[in-house]
Amino acid sequence: MTAVENGVRDDSTTAPATNRQGGGVDREKLLKALPWISTPIMLLLLIGSWQFAVSVVGVSEFILPAPLAVWDSLVDLLSTSAVYSDIWITLAEVLIGFAIALVVGMAVGAVLGRVIWLEKAVQPALVALQVVPKVAFIPIFVIWFGFGMTSKIIMAAILAFFPIMLNVMLGVRSVDRGHRDVMRGLGASRWATFKSLELPSTLPYVFAGAEVGIVFAVIGAIVGEYLGGSEGLGHLVVSSLNSLNAPQLFAVIVLLALMGSLLYLAVTTTKRLVIPWHDSVAKQ
């Protein structure tokens, strides 16, 4: 009798736990599927509001062209070969600038993170350089490097450099000194300490900086093309504005949004492959 009662009590106590676990799994699946559900809904709301503003409110299509007109302009734009040259030029500027910022930012951040006195010495210069509006440098870069790709690559690299460098510096300092002392005490070499402790601790910070840096690299390249370019998607925006072609202007903005989203997705996918064990990936 006692065993039966115990069995009943055990069933009654484990059932809610199972339900809670099942609910947790369902909630986790829902959270993973949420972006695939919410994104189409938000796009439909945006396009619906957009069409409503043009068709019902009566906003002039000279200011806000209808979604269908933008779509037609986008199709026409993609049917020409010249736009692919502009896409490639902008993409090359962004990728080269981001690669330079990644390498230099990781090197400078690693050094400043470990050498405190050097970080204190160069901090005023870094702050002064960081707070200066980077757009002000573009005329100087155009004078120095001309209207070609070089000035835009440097602009993209400068904008992407600071978030990467600051995150790497923070990552280097986040390595637990006690863990490092334990490894050294156990006779681990400097390379083994770097490979097993310092690198895994710093990589999440590197990717946090890279996620921000790739967005800034796109902004740097486009702003450079706005103000001193004769090719690329930024220049195409300016030429669309000069010809008062609003549908094409919106179509180029759509292309820029797609490019930025794909580049950001590439960085986050790389992060998932390199550090799948980190909470920022495992809990998503």
Other beta carbons within 10 Å of 93: 32
- As a three-state string, the secondary structure of 18-50 is HHHHHHHHHHHHHHHHHHHHHHHHHHHHHHHHH
> What residues have CB less than 8 Å from 267, skipping those under 6 apart?
207, 210, 211, 214
Q: What is the pLDDT of residue 281?
A: 73
What does the radius of gyration of the chain's CA atoms come to, in whole angstroms? 26
Give the residue carrying structure tokens 């490639």: 88
Distance in angstroms (rounded) separating the CA atoms of residues 174 and 61: 53
What size, in residues, is the chain? Answer: 284
Q: What is the pLDDT of residue 267?
A: 93
Q: What is the pLDDT of residue 22?
A: 52
> What's the CATH number of domain 67-277, 1.10.3720.10, 3.90.79.10, 3.20.20.70, 3.90.1640.10?
1.10.3720.10
Q: List for the chain the helix, strand, coil content (%; round to 5).
A: 85, 0, 15
Does residue 89 contact residue 231 with C-beta atoms inside 8 Å?
Answer: yes
Does residue 156 contact residue 224 with C-beta atoms inside 8 Å?
Answer: yes
Does residue 69 contact residue 77 with C-beta atoms inside 8 Å?
Answer: no
What DSSP character marks residue 6?
A: H
Give just the sign of the alpha carbon dihedral 215, 218, 223, 224. Answer: positive
Q: What is the pLDDT of residue 13?
A: 46
Give the pLDDT of the chain (284 residues) as one tens digit per residue.
Answer: 444 444 444 444 444 444 445 555 677 778 777 878 888 899 899 989 988 888 888 888 788 888 989 999 999 989 988 889 999 999 999 999 999 999 999 999 988 888 888 888 888 888 888 888 877 888 888 888 878 888 889 999 999 999 999 999 888 888 777 787 787 787 777 777 777 888 888 889 999 999 999 999 999 999 888 877 778 888 888 888 888 888 899 999 999 999 999 999 999 999 989 888 777 776 66
Distance in angstroms (rounded) separating the CA atoms of residues 168 and 198: 11
